[in-house]
Amino acid sequence: MSEIAKRESIPSPADGWDDTAAEAEARVIRGSLLKFADWKWSSGKEKEAIEVKEGRRLIAVATAAAWVKWQGGKPVEYRLREPGVRMLDRGELGDNDPAGWEAGPDGALRDPWQNTRFVHLIDPQTAEAFTFSTSSGGGRDCVINLADQIKRMRGKHPDAVPLVALGAAPMSTKHGRKSKPVLKVVGWRTTTASAVIEQPERQLPPPTKATTTAPVAAEPVDDMDDDIPF
């Protein structure tokens, strides 16, 4: 038996790492929290956040949607969307009387339930995990556009995952010119997340002209930055 065959036949060690990693995969926030506000990306909790340079490249491996309830400046409940099932309407969540809402940073009463998107990302060189969390209109639009692009690519390559670069773009709102996050696809991988980390050089051929149609610009929204006070 060749040396390569011997290595491939050796089962994974029963050292507990896989089971412990499964605990991380069950979390909504995996790795460091990634946020966008005022044209800048940052990582970590608010008081310890460090700036993340625009253009950093990460592999977008998964996404999730949820209604998140905030109380005392912290998330206290998640209503995750089930696969293939529509999200609940806001009125189905309760807490519908504004008189019971808490004041936001601007002093105005703020709905405790925020329509939120999460994108789980991995650094292709270090395997460091990040979770981009966004409840702003511009942030949700960013995630939806990325999902649409992934769906088109998977029409030809079912296991495709995108390599994205963190960016920012202007957007007009009724409050004037604001910023929105951008997850620009700069490459594609053909394997699962674990294999991508081991073989980052494996990429898909460039997509055809039909798959590179630019997404239609979203309508202006009121709030383009995300306020996640934890």
- Report pLDDT digits (tens) over 152-195: 999 999 999 999 999 999 988 777 789 999 999 999 997 554 44
The strand pair at 32-37 and 129-134 is best described as parallel
> Reduced to 3 states, what is the DSSP secondary structure of residue 181?
strand
pLDDT of residue 204: 52
Domains held by the chain: number? 1
Q: What is the pLDDT of residues 5-36, one digit of tens each?
A: 544 555 556 888 888 878 777 788 999 999 99
Is residue 131 within 8 Å of 120, Cβ to Cβ? yes
d(CA 183, CA 178) in angstroms, rounded, equals: 17
The reply to whether 96 falls in a domain is yes
Domain that holds residue 92: 18-211
pLDDT of residue 27: 82
- For the chain, helix (H) and strand (E) counts, in that order, are 4, 11
Global pTM reads 0.76
Vertex 72 angle, CA 29 and 178, to 5°: 65
Element (H, E) at 150: helix 137-154
The reply to whether 229 falls in a domain is no
Average pLDDT in the chain = 82
d(CA 34, CA 52) in angstroms, rounded, equals: 9
Q: Region 48-68: what's the mean pLDDT?
A: 95
d(CA 79, CA 8) in angstroms, rounded, equals: 42
The reply to whether 4 falls in a domain is no
Q: Which of 6-15, 47-56, 108-117 has the lowest mean pLDDT?
A: 6-15
The reply to whether 218 falls in a domain is no
Q: Percent of the chain beyond pLDDT 70?
A: 77
The reply to whether 227 falls in a domain is no
CA 79 to mean position of chain CA atoms: 17
Q: Which of 43-47, 115-119, 150-154 has the lowest mean pLDDT?
A: 43-47
